[in-house]
Each structure stands twice: as C-alpha cells, then as structure tokens.
C-alpha cells in the first residue's frame, strides 16, 4: 500500500487552484483536481502528470453534499484516503448592495461556505482515521470589506471563522486548519473584474500594484507556496491562522 499522501484541491481547473494542485504534486502528494466539470481539469492534470506527478480529474458541485460524497468515494478508490484538503472553489457575483439579488448572495454563499463545509465534513473522517490532516481554506483581503462585494466579503470573512473553529475541534486528532487571504492575484477572475470596470487588464494590474508595498501584483504561485507550507509535515504546530498573502500588511 502506498504511503503517498493524497490531497484534494477544489476549484483547481485554473488560476490559484491549479497552481496549488501543481505545487502539492511537486511536493510529492497525489492530487485530486476537483472542479465543477471534470473535463475542465484536464490541463491541470496533464501538467502534473507530464512533470512526473500523480493526479486525477474529479467533477463535483461542492455546494451539493451528495455530489461531494460521490467525489470523495472516487478519490478514495483511485488515489487513497485524502488527508490534505484545499478549499479553494469560489465564484464572484459582484454588485452594489442595492443592485445585488438574493440569488447573487445565495450562490456565493453556497460555493464558498457551504462548499467548504461539505468538503471539510466529508474529508475529516479520513483525516481522523489517519491521525493526521491539513485543511487550508481560501479567504481574501475582501474579508476586510470591499466595495461591490457584500456577498463575497461576507463569505470570505466567514471562511476565517470556520477555519478557526475547525482548528479548535480537530486539533486533538492531529489535524490543522488554516486560511490564506490573498490580495490582488493575476487570474481569470481578476481579469473579469477588470473587464467589468472597463479597464485593460495590464493597466488594471499596474494600478493595483501601485498600492501594494512590494510594488507588484500577486501570482497564483505565491498562494501555492503558502498552501505548500500549511500542508507540510513541519507546520503541525500552526493552526487556526489566517495569513494575508497580499504584498503588505492588511489584517
């Protein structure tokens, strides 16, 4: 029986999730690349396997408990019991409060918060059985408040409270829970934000970099590096923490 650790990274077809999946695979973990549609995960899986790593594509709606249960069963059958979970799946439905619909609110809450809850609940039993586990939740600097993102900000702040509670409940089983709060990261999602406000993406990045102390925007690999640390053996005494990976102090 292989002793290779198994990780699940949600929302890893592209962007931050894909970078985290690739990094964990390079760290020696077998990785389940999970997104809404398994076909969309092909590029991430191929980049991992081409580099000599082990990965499978898994399609699941993290907001649906039955879909999550089926996905976890597939991971266990094909890779083994997951003991590293990265809750990265997320969507944006930005709008000013007076224009935000109930569906805008509910859909963001469902993917971010219910999704993280469903995945963590399903995976924790495997971690408890193993006596070892790592849960990493993606928050955001938007948790501190961001115009036009009442839903996303609330969800990302919620991820921090969820993380701290998991750390308290699961610590005695050898499981840590931590959160990463990215600042501006160059992804398809931030490109979509640039388009929404009518700005060229390069100009949008330049404008944002001007307000960041390290004078550049973040890349998905910056988040992957932090996730790699949280998932490592050596991070066993770090739990319930939120690291702002934002090029400067934000919290």
Q: Which residues participate in catalysis according to the annotation?
A: 152
- Which residues, including other chains, have CB under 8 Å from residue 216's CB and lie 6 or more apart? 209, 247
Radius of gyration of the chain (CA): 17
Cα gap 172→170, rounded to integer Å:
6
| Other beta carbons less than 10 A from residue 110's beta carbon | 17
Q: Give the pairing type, strands 242-245 and 175-182.
A: parallel
* Longest CA pairwise span in the chain (Å): 56
């Amino acid at each position: 029986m292989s002793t290779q650790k198994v990780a699940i990274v949600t929302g890893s077809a592209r962007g931050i999730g894909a970078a985290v999946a690739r990094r964990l695979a390079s760290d020696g973990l077998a990785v389940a690349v999970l997104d809404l549609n398994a076909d969309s995960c092909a590029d991430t899986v191929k980049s991992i396997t081409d580099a000599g790593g082990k990965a499978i594509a898994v399609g699941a709606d993290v907001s649906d408990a039955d879909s999550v249960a089926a996905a976890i069963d597939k991971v266990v059958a094909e890779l083994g019991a997951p003991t590293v979970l990265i809750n990265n799946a997320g969507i944006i439905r930005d709008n000013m409060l007076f224009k935000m619909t109930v569906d805008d609110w509910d859909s963001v809450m469902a993917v971010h918060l219910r999704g993280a809850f469903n995945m963590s609940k399903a995976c924790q039993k495997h971690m408890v059985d193993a006596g070892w586990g790592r849960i990493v939740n993606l928050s955001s600097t938007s948790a501190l408040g961001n115009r036009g993102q009442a839903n996303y900000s609330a969800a990302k702040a919620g991820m921090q409270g969820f993380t701290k509670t998991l750390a308290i409940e699961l610590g005695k089983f050898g499981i840590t829970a931590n959160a990463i709060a990215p600042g501006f990261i160059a992804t398809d999602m931030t490109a979509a934000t640039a388009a929404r406000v009518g700005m060229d993406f390069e100009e949008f990045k330049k404008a944002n970099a001007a307000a960041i102390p390290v004078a550049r925007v973040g890349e998905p690999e910056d988040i992957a590096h932090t996730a790699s640390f949280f998932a490592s053996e050596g991070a066993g005494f770090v739990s319930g923490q939120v690291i702002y990976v934002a090029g400067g102090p934000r919290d």
